[in-house]
Amino acid sequence: MNAVRPWKWLGAALLLLLGGLARLPLERAFSRDLQAQGLAEAPFNLSLRDELGQSCFVAVLGGFRSLVASLIEIQNLDAWQHQQWAKVDAAYALCTRLQPREYHYWDFRAWMSAYNAFDYYRYEDQSRPGLQPWIRQNLITHAVHVLEEGMKHLPDDYRLPRTLAMLASDFDKNRDANSLEAAQWWLHAWNLRPAHRFLWRNYVYNLARAPGHELEAWPLLLDMYATGPAPASDRTPTAITLLVQLFPQVKTSLPDAALPPEVADRVPAILAKEKARLDRENLRRQRERDDLRALEDALLRQRP
């Protein structure tokens, strides 16, 4: 058998090397295009190996991202039950890195921060009353950042902007609550899922509550009223109440503005009902504050 000359081996190796170098930019461009279309995930860096451990990292490299993310979530149920919120958040942060296009990991991570951890510090950490507002607002802010990051990976999912809208309109929890911002998030969610009419209704409600946007909301509320009686329409008790509340301000700028006749006849009753609702809400909040103050006093008395 004739031996292959060394230069032929060298030529073949050189040819393979040049072919690989020529394909590399094409493959990178193809990978970036797949990632942009949501058909492939971004590659991991080695720092993830330290967070996952060797065995889980190997499993991830083998294509078991979803399985590893589910195991991480299950393993941290104890941390959730024991209110170890930093550990819970770190676990869900890993889950979102492994499965960034899985909605429930983003939703659970935000929920744990803005609701579970928030309520824990509201009701349980009364020994540090001066620190609570700072902790709670940071938890809300963190949840907002989580949801905004999730929207980059799930731009077509209406549920993340819906949750952002709920946080932006929650004046009881969120120190930075803003009706106009909430309206914008509700509108964004409705644009993604126009079949869900409640998204549109909440957009109009929050727009009507945003100072300076009364004239913008007025025709939308009238259109809602014109759809006819609820439930198979947008004529809701909230929309009617907002019509009555906005009318004096709108009348100043639009002299021809008028309430529907049947609404105008019930203005005193509508306002009285709304006042009673607000009184009940204020009483509930006052009772919560009194209960918290009593708990704080009891904790202080138990100190040695």
**Cα 178 from chain centre:** 15
How many domains is the chain partitioned into structurally?
1
99 within domain boundaries: no
> Alpha helices, DSSP H only, in the chain?
6-36, 47-52, 54-61, 65-75, 77-81, 85-98, 103-111, 118-123, 132-153, 159-168, 179-192, 197-209, 214-226, 237-253, 261-264, 267-302
CA atoms within 13 A on the CB side of 28: 6
**Cα 208 from chain centre:** 22
201 within domain boundaries: no
Please give the Cα distance from 174 to 192 (Å, whole number). Answer: 25
271 within domain boundaries: yes
| The pLDDT of residue 15 | 67
Length of the chain: 304
Q: Name the token pair of 235.
A: 């004529």
244 within domain boundaries: yes
260 within domain boundaries: yes
| The pLDDT of residue 75 | 78
Please give the Cα distance from 171 to 182 (Å, whole number). Answer: 11
135 within domain boundaries: no
Q: pLDDT 10s per residue in the chain (304 long)?
A: 455 566 666 666 666 666 666 666 655 554 455 445 554 455 555 455 444 544 444 444 445 567 777 777 887 888 888 889 898 998 898 888 888 888 999 999 999 999 988 888 877 665 555 556 778 889 999 999 999 999 999 999 999 999 999 999 998 888 899 999 999 999 999 999 999 999 999 999 999 999 999 999 999 999 999 998 877 789 999 999 999 999 999 999 999 999 999 999 999 999 999 899 888 888 887 887 777 677 666 766 666 5
273 within domain boundaries: yes
Q: Name the token pair of 240.
A: 């009617």
Domain that includes residue 265, residue range? 220-286
Q: Name the token pair of 29.
A: 């461009």
The torsion defined by the Cα of 69, 75, 78 and 81, in degrees rounded to 10, comes to: 20
275 within domain boundaries: yes
